Amino acid sequence: MVRFFLRRSCVFLLTLFVASLAIFAMVEIIPGDPARTMLGLNASDEAVAALRTELNLNQSGVRRYLAWIGGICQGDFGLSYTYRTPAITLIAERLAITLPLALYALILTIGIALPLGAFAGTREGTAADRLITLASQFGIALPNFWFAVMLILIFALNLGWLPAGGFDGWEAGIAQGLAHLTLPAIALALPQASILLRVMRGALIETARQDYIRTARAKGLSRDQALWRHGFANALIPVLTILGMQLSFLIAGAIIIENVFRLPGLGRLIVQAINQRDLILTEAIILLMVALVISVSFLTDLLYGAIDPRLRRQRP
């Protein structure tokens, strides 16, 4: 178990390191002069030179990378060029919206997909199964941002049940905050839930065909007992794989959805940062998001170990 954990941790750190290297190279090294990019073509040479000094651009790429990553390890993501505030402060503020949103969407995804998927998977070929499968086809084809627009149109503008967008901060009360996040979370979750539902259904159907289910049936277990005691945990393995990927789609999807609903989260911040060519802030946010994605897949790996004892076994 310890070795399993250590091995996974090493892979996790290595991936994180290579990803950070790639981000830094893409933004600061390969394109040429970041100072020129940030200030635009009309900037005077003096201004560019001043910015180069401020950003230490005259040093070698390796030293700049080390300084950058070293600062990040101490919580210093650099100074946002447009806001003149530490990037970390901006990010922390915005995370207070993005993280709850992604989490809310994740809970909805799981809450919708697993029960419906299990329901359909144990009733393969019935009318209920077909209906659920058909609905999920539409769910997968739905672009989440268009779905978001439709939700606003129906539930905010026409019915007036929920706010159409914006966010008044958590100070206004948790219920109020959640109300503002509900439509965005649904818009994020439903397409992903459709995918997960199909995986869950397929995995259950597949495990139902395994010979060990037949063994369990021969022991005297009923269909449901055999499926729940032996099928479910095995079916969860592929479900977990997809769920791990989906969390990264939820994080990325949040960028679009925040823009649709005008939520002042990380997604809005990064779109602004890119439009204003604030490379320091852009870089920081991308690193953070990528780190989130990598952490999620690390956690998924650990969860595999929890579900499948073969993986955590001490190898002889």
Partner 1 sequence: MALIQAKNLSVAFNKKPILSSLSFDIEAGECLGLIGASGAGKSMLALALMGLLPDGFSASGTVRLNGKPLDLNNDNAMRQHRGRDMALVFQEPALNPIRNIGTQLTEAIQFTKATATDAYNMASEALAQVGLSNVFDRLPDTLSGGERQRVMIAMAMLARPALLIADEPTTSLDTVTQKEILALMQNLAKQNNTAILLISHDLALISTEVKRLLVMDKGAIIDAAKAPNCAKKLTHPISQTLLKAAQLPAKPASKPAASSPATKKPPPLLIAENLEKSYPASAGAGWNFFGRTSKQNRILENISFQLNQGECLGLVGESGAGKSTLSRLLLGLEAPTKGSITLAGRPLIFGTIPRQQRRQLSAVFQDPFTAFNPRHSIRRIIAEPLTLMPKTLMPTMPTRQTPNAISPDAITHAVATALTQVGLDPTSMHRYIHEFSGGQRQRIAIARALITRPEVIIFDEAVSSLDSRSRHQVLELITQLLETHQLSAIFISHDLAVIRAICHRVMVLDGGQIVEMGATSDIFNKPNHAATKRLIKAIPNATIKNTKKDS
Partner 2 sequence: MKRGQSQIIIGGVVLGAIILAGLLSLIWTPADPLAMAINQRMQMPSAGAWLGTDHFGRDILARLMAATPLTLSVAFIGVSIGFIGGVPLGLTAALTPRPLIGQILMRGGDVFFAFPILIMAMLITAGFGGGAWVAILAIGFFNIPVFLRVTRAGALGQSHCTYIQSARLAGKSTARIAIEHIFPNIAPLLILQASIQFSLGVLAEAGLSYLGLGASPTTPSWGRMLADSQTLMGLAPHLAIAPGVVIVVTVLAINLIAEGLRQRLDPRQQNLLGRGQAWR
Residue 278 near residue 34 (C-beta atoms within 8 A): no
Binding positions for partner 2, 187-216, rule CB under 8 A: 205, 208-211, 213-214
**Residue 112 touching partner 2 (CB under 8 A):** no
Q: Encoding tokens for residue 262?
A: 């005008």
Closer residue to partner 1 (CB): 76 or 206: 206
Strand partners, 86: 79
The pattern of x and - marking residues 197 through 216 that bind partner 1 according to CB under 8 A reads: -------------xxx-xxx
Smallest gap from residue 115 Cβ to partner 1 (A)? 22
> What φ, ψ does residue 264 adopt, rounded to 5°?
-75, 65
Q: How far separated are the first and last CA of the chain, in Å rounded?
A: 13
Stretch that binds partner 1, among 103-111, 126-134, 148-156, 227-235 (CB under 8 A): 227-235
Nearer to partner 2, 110 or 270 (CB): 270
63 binds partner 1 (CB under 8 A): no
The Cα 144–Cα 186 span in angstroms is 9
Asked whether position 3 contacts partner 2 by CB under 8 A, the answer is no
The answer to whether 120 and 113 have CB atoms below 8 angstroms apart is: no
Least distance in angstroms from the C-beta of 4 to partner 1: 10
Binding mask 237-276 for partner 2 (x = CB under 8 A): -----------xx-xxx-xx--xx---------xx--xx-
Spatial separation of the C-alpha atoms in residues 96 and 266, rounded to whole Å? 9
Would you tell me how many other CB atoms lie within 10 Å of the CB of residue 128? 12
By 3-state DSSP, what share of the chain in percent is helix, strand and coil, each rounded to 5? Answer: 80, 0, 20
- Say whether residue 95 binds partner 2 (CB under 8 A): no
According to the binding rule CB under 8 A, does residue 189 interact with partner 1? no
Q: Counting contacts by CB under 8 A, is residue 161 touching partner 2?
A: no
Gap between the Cα atoms of 148 and 258, Å rounded = 10
Residues making contact with partner 1 (CB under 8 A): 7, 10-11, 210-212, 214-223, 225, 229-230, 233-234, 307-310, 313, 315-316
